[in-house]
């Protein structure tokens, strides 16, 4: 009787897989050329096979496509600033654009397109637009002075983050407030944020 090389079927399967892996490493270029030839001859079959794979492995395709674009976005050409380029990535629309404030590259999905790279850029841009908007003119000192001249009986007050009687009273009142049960990621409650703005 002929002696068995492997003790169990699992060991035999592992050895067979290793042989295949080594053969593929040796004949990499040969396999690539044959695959390209087959794809050119039978495009319909290849499309059907891809569609089946997308249907069965939808979650994997989304993860891989997103990781590839985040790793090397230089492969895909970007347009001029303040414009958007849409690229189809295996049933996942990935959008490349530039930040409206600092002009940095942004990668986002087509469902939720990002216009700013961070919250700080959004706030800076918002402050610039508010200076020009007629809605926000009332918050300026010039407008307050003008309003007081027209309406002398009004009780319009300036903000006092630098110091004043209202600041002292607010800081004294807010010091005794207890911490909330659900703070932010930084461990801040709404009262802490307000006190920081008032410079208490």
Residue 8: its pLDDT value, please?
A: 85
Domain count, the chain: 3
Token readout for 146 is: 């003008």
d(CA 186, CA 171): 21
End-to-end CA distance of the chain: 91
Does some domain include residue 26? Answer: no
Which structural domain, as residue segments, surrounds residue 88? Answer: 58-117
Whether residue 122 sits in one domain with residue 111: no
Does some domain include residue 25? Answer: no
Residue 81: its pLDDT value, please?
A: 41
Does some domain include residue 125? Answer: yes
Name which residue leads in pLDDT, 116 or 81.
116
- Please give the distance of CA 111 from its chain centroid, rounded to a whole number: 12
Does some domain include residue 108? Answer: yes
d(CA 35, CA 27): 12
Residue 72: its pLDDT value, please?
A: 59
Name which residue leads in pLDDT, 127 or 168.
168
d(CA 8, CA 11): 6
Nearest to 98 by CA among 111, 117, 70: 117
Does some domain include residue 195? Answer: yes
Does some domain include residue 164? Answer: yes
Does some domain include residue 171? Answer: yes
pLDDT at 93 > cutoff 80: no
What is the number of other CB atoms lying within 10 angstroms of the CB of residue 97? 22
Name which residue leads in pLDDT, 107 or 130.
107
- With bands split at pLDDT 50, 70 and 90, how would you rate the model's confidence at 76? very low
Whether residue 83 sits in one domain with residue 73: yes
């Amino acid at each position: 009787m002929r002696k068995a090389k492997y003790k169990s079927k699992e060991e035999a399967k592992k050895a067979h897989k290793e042989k295949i892996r080594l053969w593929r490493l040796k004949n990499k270029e040969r396999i690539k050329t044959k695959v390209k030839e087959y794809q050119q001859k039978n495009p319909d079959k290849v499309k059907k096979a891809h569609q089946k794979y997308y249907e069965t492995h939808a979650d994997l395709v989304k993860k891989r496509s997103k990781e590839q674009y985040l790793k090397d976005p230089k492969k895909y050409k970007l347009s001029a600033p303040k414009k958007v380029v849409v690229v189809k990535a295996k049933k996942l629309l990935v959008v490349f654009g530039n930040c409206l404030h600092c002009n940095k590259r942004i990668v986002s999905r087509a469902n939720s397109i990002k216009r700013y790279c961070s919250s700080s850029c959004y706030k800076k841009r918002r402050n610039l637009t508010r200076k020009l908007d007629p809605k926000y003119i009332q918050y300026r000192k010039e407008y307050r002075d003008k309003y007081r001249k027209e309406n002398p009986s009004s009780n319009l007050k300036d903000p006092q983050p630098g110091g004043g009687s209202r600041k002292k009273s607010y800081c004294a009142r807010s010091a005794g407030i207890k911490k909330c049960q659900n703070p932010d990621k930084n461990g801040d409650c709404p009262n802490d944020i307000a006190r920081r703005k008032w410079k208490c």
